[in-house]
Amino acid sequence: MVELDWVIELLRSYGLWLLVPLSVLEGPIVTVVAGYLASLDVFHLATAYVVVVLGDLVGDAIFYYAGRHGVGRMAPRWRDRLGLNASRIASLTEHFGQRGGRTLVFGKLTHSAGAAILVAAGAARMPFLPFLFYNLLATLPKSALFLAIGFLFGQAYVQIDIWIFRVSLILLAVVALVGVVWWRRHGRVAK
């Protein structure tokens, strides 16, 4: 985890020039910190919002690109170990063709399943413009919420970071549990 006091001092010194890459790499807590700094008049709130939304979308595009171009370049034995056989990729492609938008919004809003879903969308070769549209649709309220939390309660950023981590773990456990239940009810995916 990034040392938040250090990040705040760097953002105060370098401003939006540093907020851009940090919002690509770190996500929600950087958005909270940006909201906090906006409350201290270090950033203009609307400008910070645009920057964190764009940074989030760039990060999503990187995960998408990794899925789209990385899976094919992966050694076959690693693809097999990860369960990324031709049948699974075909199933992913069908899923993202039918329910890609809902899946992306779900992944973005739960946060904990987000990276895997973004990579899966790329591996499924979901068209990039719809991918970007659905991510934007989920990123706008999510970024606004985290900015508002930072603006209103940003002085408690350490506790907020802890809660973001805890809620993400709980959501990940719920997603995993639902996945296991679904898998047991609907049977295994054919190899």
8 A C-beta contact, residue 169 and residue 67: no
Closest CA to 106 of 61, 81, 77, 142: 142
Place of tokens 């595009």: 61
Q: How confident is the model at residue 191 (pLDDT cuts 50, 70, 90)?
A: very low
Q: How confident is the model at residue 190 (pLDDT cuts 50, 70, 90)?
A: very low
Q: Cα(56)–Cα(50) distance, rounded to whole angstroms?
A: 10
Place of tokens 């350490």: 158
Place of tokens 């001092």: 9
- Provide the Cα torsion 40, 45, 47, 48; round to 10°: 70
- DSSP code for 111: S
Q: What are the boundaries of each domain within the chain?
A: 4-186
> For residue range 72-128, what is the model confidence (pLDDT) as tens digits?
777 777 767 766 667 777 777 777 878 888 888 888 877 777 788 898 888 888 999
Q: How confident is the model at residue 62 (pLDDT cuts 50, 70, 90)?
A: very high
> For residue range 127-154, what is the model confidence (pLDDT) as tens digits?
999 999 999 999 999 999 999 999 988 7
8 A C-beta contact, residue 64 and residue 132: no
Q: Cα(113)–Cα(115) distance, rounded to whole angstroms?
A: 6
pLDDT of residue 1: 45
Q: Cα(4)–Cα(185) distance, rounded to whole angstroms?
A: 43
pTM over 0.85: no
Q: Which is higher by pLDDT, 7 or 38?
A: 38
What is the chain's mean pLDDT, rounded? 81
Residue range 165-191: mean pLDDT, rounded: 68
8 A C-beta contact, residue 143 and residue 111: no
Task: Give every CB contact of residue 117 below 8 A, 6+ residues apart in sequence.
Answer: 103, 104, 106, 107
pLDDT of residue 153: 84
* C-beta atoms surrounding 31 within 10 Å: 30
* Stretch among 31-35, 64-68, 162-166 having the lowest mean pLDDT: 162-166
